[in-house]
Structure 1
Amino acid sequence: MSGHGTPIPMTSTLSGPLSGRAEVPGDKSISHRSLILGAMAVGETRISGLLEGEDVIDTAKAMRAFGAEVTDHGGGEWSVYGVGVGGFAEPDQVIDCGNSGTGVRLIMGAMATSPISATFTGDASLNKRPMARVTDPLALFGTRSVGRSGGRLPMTIVGAADPVPVRYVVPVPSAQVKSAVLLAGLNAPGKTVVIEKEATRDHTERMLRGFGAELTVEETEEGRVITLTGRPELKPQTIAVPRDPSSAAFPVCAALIVPGSDVLVPGIGLNPTRSGLFTTLREMGADLTYENEREEGGEPVADLRARYSPDMKGIEVPPERAASMIDEYPILSVVAANATGTTMMTGVKELRVKESDRIDAMAVGLRACGVEVDEGDDWWSVEGVGAGNVAGGATCASHLDHRIAMSFLVMGMAAQKPVSVDDGSPIATSFPVFEPLMASLGASLRRDNA
């Protein structure tokens, strides 16, 4: 049973050439952070281009529950009237974060150093995901947490009444963990230091500076050292959210594998901590170009043009690139299936604890569609069968995971036989316009219970 209501079985079939403009939604990571930091600022923050998927809407509801005034003005235009650092009120009700691991972990961090309590829950998928990776470092500030076995939701966080600053080395590359600690550090006196051995997406650091926090980043032998001075008065901002590179991945990759395709995806954020997929695709021989490169709101942006690329080759993806493309490995595996030779992906154990075990979910579905996959705890490989040679013909389980569902639907657009997913409803969490957007490019998609 879907955690998003009635399951929506979907099928994609071999498509003709995809063409046109794919205007994907706003960046999910930046949308979450815009709402949270807007709620922690003093005064009104204006946001344009906000992703209005379920994950981000749940974060907006949570900010209201903590006392911020959050208003939807329509057309992706939102405003947040913040309550200041340390100004969160105690929520009256349980905070439901739906499917969003980013949302719940960042919000836990934001409230962890205020003298309030809050109880968090989510859908069936989120309630299986580990929270100790966040609650353990938050405990260093003086925060307490009580949840289900294995550190799972539902969970109550008791904020630290007298927080202390911390120095924390992030044990595995995780922007969510780093960001939760930094957000908690905002209301701790003195300097909070976060050290990451491998750089992860840096939207939180960029945005904290934009809101007026005192934050430095230093590259040392120990790693990337981020130092935040606590208890600033955050200043409200005007934020234009760039389009999401993780959502752009789907029309881009579809264009690369569907014969005759030529698709332009405008205004995509190309933050170097997020653009690993596009680098990887070009190394495989993809006809993928950046046009009109520019900077918007402190983030690098460009228009991406993707054309059918029948001669792509499998490569070994460097493990140090994993943090910059962790959400894109499922769709990369679909491209890899349509390439020739082996694509090896290592340093990816984080995929085991996403919305689903993404390695297992993709491996099972790819095998059912005639593609050879090998896997281990921290790696997997896909044996490409060449352009147009993926058999398809299977129904794949989405496991309540939006990226798994979209990846298999893209695969069906270039497979010999239709590819179905048992439930496409989770797609609404991150890419609510996926179906009409792909259909406008010429993709053949249908809902099987319609």
Structure 2
Amino acid sequence: MSAGAALVVEATPRLIGHLAVPGDKSISHRAVLIGAICDGETRITGFGRSADTEATIAAVRALGIEVYEHGADTLRVFGKGLRGLTVPGRPIDCANAGTLVRLIAGLLAGQDGNTFELTGDESLSRRPMERIAEPLRRMGATVETTDGHLPLRIEGGALHGIDYALPVASAQVKSAVLLAGLYADGESTVVEPAPTRDHTERMLAAAGAPITTRPTSVTVRRAERLSLGETEVPGDFSSAAPFVVAATLVPGSELHVHGVNLNPRRTGLLDILERMGANVTVYNRRPIGDEPGGDLEIHSAPLVATTVTTAEVPRAIDELPLFALAAACARGTSVLRGAKELRAKESDRIDATVDALRAIGVRAQGRDDGFAVTGVPARPRGGRIASRGDHRLAMLAAVAGLASRDGVRIEGADVVDVSFPGFFEMLEELRRTSAVEQPDRY
């Protein structure tokens, strides 16, 4: 597909088969960034290759780190220690990667006496950056934003620890403070209003950082050296989620997704779907790298409406557009509350999700911090959905096409490459095999 390309996803009678999704994007970012400040080699297997994670590889290379690539999903990162990053001769381009720009800012804040500039594409440049600049300034770094956005200039300084209560639940802001805390005198503690993904804490602990985790807070102290050695990246739950919802909505489906990250701080969608009556079973639970993992078995099932509350939002933030689509096919009116953060993503995901549902004949209403969707237990009619440059909206549109009566035309479908290159190819292969395979019987 060319830039801005349109793609039609036709309705399918059923989805049957087995698949494995690419490595977790959030963990892949962290493995490269933390590997860069480790002593010696870090070997990463299961790396989730995407436009976003490619930007992270390019960023650490710009900082003087050697990264060798072996095939699609194995990397060797040759770290230069906590203070071995070098100043590039040009700004570091973070492309569209929000995780990259916010996490790397924490590392650069600790490079005492050096100045760095971070830039990004048009979409990333619209996203708020004061949320990381403010705590890093409190720690002693000099951080300048451009009216609260990119470009962002960081001058590393002699940092000191802080106690920081997150104004909004954000794993990215939490991680920025924790990474800066590796360089700070004293202790740095982040208190969360609600639990967010803890991939940074898990990986820092595996690398030997002095870190203490609690249910609602985490503390890190200055580190002398880190060593990660080897790390395996599990399959990305956010990449598995479109297939989970599709198999739930398309009648007669039976789908198995293997090797998925099942970190409970990431799998809020499974809890929401269970309340709605979905038939999803977790089996073969096992550690994958430093994370809990396992396999999913999904059967189609009729759904009923539910309400998603503020406390649930951080554990399902990337999957909330898919929840809206599930709600469109459920009996009754579903409501999302406390998700104003969706308005600060690659698109305004509240308005974009509501518009997408209306475009395929669903009754949906946006609210300041969420939406309400009145569902009908039947296939939506289909239609045309614009991705608005947002990979999550493009995948929502694809699932809507599978579950619709008449298919969905997706404008700007190629934006899925930001997080999941090969998504549409995997979708088409699943459609093809579903046409000939029979469900497994146990």
Q: Measure, in 2, the Cα distance between the counterparts of 1:113 and 1:294.
A: 36
Deviation at 1:11, TM superposition (A): 1.6
**More moved, 7-16 vs 404-413:** 7-16
Q: What is the aligned length?
A: 432
Q: Measure, in 2, the Cα distance between the counterparts of 1:67 and 1:166.
A: 29
Deviation at 1:386, TM superposition (A): 1.2
Query: Which residues in structure 2 correspond to 1:215-364 (within 5 Å)?
Result: 215-219=211-215, 224-309=216-301, 311-364=302-355
Q: 2:170 aligned with 1:180, yes or no?
A: no
2:187 to 185, 191, 203: 191
Q: 2:15 aligned with 1:24, yes or no?
A: no
CA contact (8 A) 1:346 1:379 kept: yes
Q: Measure, in 1, the Cα distance between the counterparts of 2:18 and 2:50.
A: 20
In structure 2, do the counterparts of structure 1 residues 98 and 321 end up closer, same or farther at CA, with 3 Å as the change threshold?
A: same
CA contact (8 A) 2:41 2:77 kept: yes
Query: Which residues in structure 2 correspond to 1:107-118 (within 5 Å)?
Result: 107-114=104-111, 115-118=113-116
Q: 2:83 aligned with 1:86, yes or no?
A: yes
CA contact (8 A) 2:210 2:223 kept: no
Q: Measure, in 2, the Cα distance between the counterparts of 1:254 and 1:413.
A: 7
Query: Which residues in structure 2 correspond to 1:97-176 (within 5 Å)?
Result: 97-114=94-111, 115-149=113-147, 151-160=148-157, 162-176=158-172
Q: Which amino acid aligns with 1:392?
A: G
Q: Measure, in 2, the Cα distance between the counterparts of 1:54 and 1:286.
A: 32
Q: Measure, in 2, the Cα distance between the counterparts of 1:387 and 1:195.
A: 43
Deviation at 1:82, TM superposition (A): 0.5
**2:438 corresponds to which residue?**
none
Q: What SS does structure 1 have at the residue aligned with 2:238?
A: helix
Deviation at 1:72, TM superposition (A): 0.6
1:50 to 34, 42, 47: 47
Deviation at 1:51, TM superposition (A): 0.5
Gaps of 5+ in 2: 434-442
CA contact (8 A) 1:274 1:325 kept: yes
Q: What SS does structure 2 have at the residue aligned with 1:72?
A: strand
**1:8 corresponds to which residue?**
5
Deviation at 1:139, TM superposition (A): 0.8
Q: What SS does structure 2 have at the residue aligned with 1:322?
A: helix
Q: Measure, in 2, the Cα distance between the counterparts of 1:284 and 1:255.
A: 14
CA contact (8 A) 1:342 1:382 kept: yes
Deviation at 1:153, TM superposition (A): 1.2
Q: What SS does structure 2 have at the residue aligned with 1:70?
A: strand
Q: Measure, in 2, the Cα distance between the counterparts of 1:87 and 1:152.
A: 27
**More moved, 412-421 vs 42-51:** 412-421
CA contact (8 A) 1:258 1:414 kept: yes
Q: Which amino acid aligns with 1:291?
A: Y
Q: For 1:265-317, what per-residue CA distance to the aligned partner results, in whole angstroms no more than 9, with x for missing partners?
A: 001111010010011111111111111111222311110011111x2101112
Q: Measure, in 2, the Cα distance between the counterparts of 1:250 and 1:401.
A: 15
Deviation at 1:5, TM superposition (A): 7.2
Q: What SS does structure 2 have at the residue aligned with 1:442?
A: helix
Q: Measure, in 1, the Cα distance between the counterparts of 2:149 and 2:293.
A: 37
Q: Measure, in 2, the Cα distance between the counterparts of 1:268 and 1:349.
A: 28
Q: Measure, in 1, the Cα distance between the counterparts of 2:63 and 2:398.
A: 38
**2:389 corresponds to which residue?**
400
Q: Which amino acid aligns with 2:168?
A: V
Deviation at 1:21, TM superposition (A): 1.3
Deviation at 1:443, TM superposition (A): 6.8
Q: Percent identity?
A: 43
Deviation at 1:113, TM superposition (A): 1.7
CA contact (8 A) 1:23 1:437 kept: no
Deviation at 1:231, TM superposition (A): 2.8
Q: Which amino acid aligns with 2:172?
A: Q
In structure 2, do the counterparts of structure 1 residues 169 and 145 end up closer, same or farther at CA, with 3 Å as the change threshold?
A: same
Q: With structure 2 as the length reference, what TM-score do the two structures score?
A: 0.95
**1:206 corresponds to which residue?**
202
Q: Measure, in 2, the Cα distance between the counterparts of 1:238 and 1:5.
A: 37
Q: Which amino acid aligns with 2:210?
A: E
Q: Measure, in 2, the Cα distance between the counterparts of 1:379 and 1:16.
A: 32
Q: Measure, in 2, the Cα distance between the counterparts of 1:237 and 1:381.
A: 47
CA contact (8 A) 1:113 1:141 kept: no
Q: For 1:392-449, what per-residue CA distance to the aligned partner results, in whole angstroms no more than 9, with x for missing partners?
A: 22x22211110011101110111122212210121001110101111111079xxxxx
CA contact (8 A) 1:16 1:442 kept: no
Q: Measure, in 2, the Cα distance between the counterparts of 1:265 and 1:347.
A: 30
Q: For 1:231-289, what per-residue CA distance to the aligned partner results, in whole angstroms no more than 9, with x for missing partners?
A: 33101320010000000001111111112111110011110100100111111111111
Q: What SS does structure 2 have at the residue aligned with 1:325?
A: helix
Q: Which amino acid aligns with 1:414?
A: A
Q: Measure, in 1, the Cα distance between the counterparts of 2:92 and 2:406.
A: 43
CA contact (8 A) 2:304 2:332 kept: yes
Q: With structure 1 as the length reference, what TM-score do the two structures score?
A: 0.93
Q: Measure, in 2, the Cα distance between the counterparts of 1:263 and 1:411.
A: 17
**1:436 corresponds to which residue?**
425
Q: Measure, in 2, the Cα distance between the counterparts of 1:257 and 1:231.
A: 48
Q: For 1:127-155, what per-residue CA distance to the aligned partner results, in whole angstroms no more than 9, with x for missing partners?
A: 11111111111111222233322x11122
Q: What SS does structure 1 have at the residue aligned with 2:139?
A: coil
CA contact (8 A) 1:212 1:232 kept: no
Deviation at 1:229, TM superposition (A): 0.9
Q: What SS does structure 2 have at the residue aligned with 1:271?
A: coil
Q: For 1:12-33, what per-residue CA distance to the aligned partner results, in whole angstroms no more than 9, with x for missing partners?
A: 1111211111211000111000
2:357 to 366, 369, 372: 366
Q: What SS does structure 2 have at the residue aligned with 1:89?
A: coil
Deviation at 1:110, TM superposition (A): 1.2
